[in-house]
Amino acid sequence: MNVNHDELIRVKGLSVKFKTDRGEAYAVRNVNFAIKPNETLGLVGESGSGKSVTAQSILKLHPSDRTKIAGEISYKGQNLLDKNEKEMQKIRGNQISMIFQDPMISLNPVIRVGEQISETIRYHKKISRKEAMEQSIRLINQVGIPFAEERYYQYPHEFSGGMLQRFMIAIALSCNPNFLIADEPTTALDVTVQAQILRLMKKLQKDFGMSILIITHNLGIVSEICDHVAVMYAGELVEISDVIPIFSNPLHPYTYGLLEAIPVLGQKHKKLKNIEGHPPNIFDHIQGCNFSPRCPFKTDICLTEKPILRQVGNLRYVACHNPLNHI
């Protein structure tokens, strides 16, 4: 495998399919992207588009007996898909960490939150229980939770959703990872707490020197925290770009539709547009472009030939036969 030392992680030709009672179902097809050190990539799309499946594939979290994964996931030049479960256990939570979208489900309700941080540290580092506790208390302080020593001994049900998400971030950062995956980290939080969590992630990224993959359907979050954005539809990437150009000049009709559906402050009388139709079923086979049944800009070729992700400008990629650079 050729190693690009400017990239921390590269996903190449990733395809994921699941065995079901109805047969094999493709959740992700031929996904390609790279993240450099200290960069943040936003992976956006509707629910069911394959964002979480892509992220979980990086850590090989899918059940091996019901999942087929093809392609390469290169981390520091090593293909993670070639590693066995024991090798992955040394990487998960240590070099690569993940924050899940619902902290109440992710945290053990009968174990004190501080002990859950300490447990992660002691699993990967050969240190005493006292040292792990001291490190945990420092982390609790770092993620902005006051009275850290007292909070260490409390249980998950004693905290709000925003506080619990801070604890999840503390657990994810407990071993100073190089790469953080955040799967909808602010979904269940109100707008004020969302902003606090995003500011915290940006600060901690600077402090810890991490790369971040953030999964979201909220384009406001992308504009706030990301350097680059990858748009996913029906298991495939349809556009990759730096953040600013994708808001000012979207190239794929799906990206354009997502942006048109965002309410604009001060334009309360503007009618919101929606994308007609619905995403294809995971078992559907569409001969041409997956988005063609919903696309107002489709032409004959879109119905018969699947577009490939191709470069159309400086660091811009789009999978479309008719990119919307005229908009």
Express as a percent the part of the chain with pLDDT over 70.
Answer: 96
Q: What is the mean pLDDT of the chain?
A: 90
d(CA 217, CA 256): 14
Tell me, what's the pLDDT at 290? 94
d(CA 162, CA 189): 6
Tell me, what's the pLDDT at 2? 43
Count Cα neighbours of 186 within 13 Å in the Cβ-side half-sphere. Answer: 22
Give the mean model confidence (pLDDT) for residues 287-316.
92
Confidence class of residue 8 from pLDDT cuts 50, 70 and 90?
A: very high
By mean pLDDT, which of 152-161, 223-232, 280-289 is the weakest? 280-289
8 Å CB contact between 15 and 187: no
Give the mean model confidence (pLDDT) for residues 58-78.
93
Count Cα neighbours of 97 within 13 Å in the Cβ-side half-sphere. Answer: 24
Global pTM reads 0.90
The token pair that represents 250 in the structure block: 């979207």
Give the mean model confidence (pLDDT) for residues 107-111.
94
8 Å CB contact between 249 and 316: no
pLDDT tens digit sequence for 170-217: 999 999 899 999 998 887 778 888 888 888 889 889 988 899 999 998
**5: pLDDT strictly greater than 70:** no
Give the mean model confidence (pLDDT) for residues 52-67.
93
CA distances from 202 to 19, 197, 213, 302, 327 (A): 38, 9, 12, 40, 32
pLDDT tens digit sequence for 215-274: 998 888 899 899 999 999 999 999 999 999 999 899 999 999 999 888 776 666 667 788
C-alpha Rg value of the chain to the nearest Å:
21
Count Cα neighbours of 46 within 13 Å in the Cβ-side half-sphere. Answer: 17
Spell out the domains of the chain, with CATH numbers in brackets. 9-226 (3.40.50.300), 239-327 (no CATH)
Q: What is the DSSP string of 118-166?
A: HHHHHHHS---HHHHHHHHHHHHHHTT-SSHHHHTT--GGGS-HHHHHH
Q: Which of 143, 150, 116 is nearest to 132 (CA)?
A: 116
Give the mean model confidence (pLDDT) for residues 120-126.
91
How many other CB atoms are there within 10 angstroms of residue 240's CB atom?
24
d(CA 327, CA 325): 5
Task: Report which residue type is found at 258.
Answer: L
Express as a percent the part of the chain with pLDDT over 90.
Answer: 66
- 10: which strand partners? 34, 74
pLDDT tens digit sequence for 16-35: 999 988 888 889 999 999 99
**67: pLDDT strictly greater than 70:** yes
8 Å CB contact between 161 and 104: yes
Tell me, what's the pLDDT at 204? 87
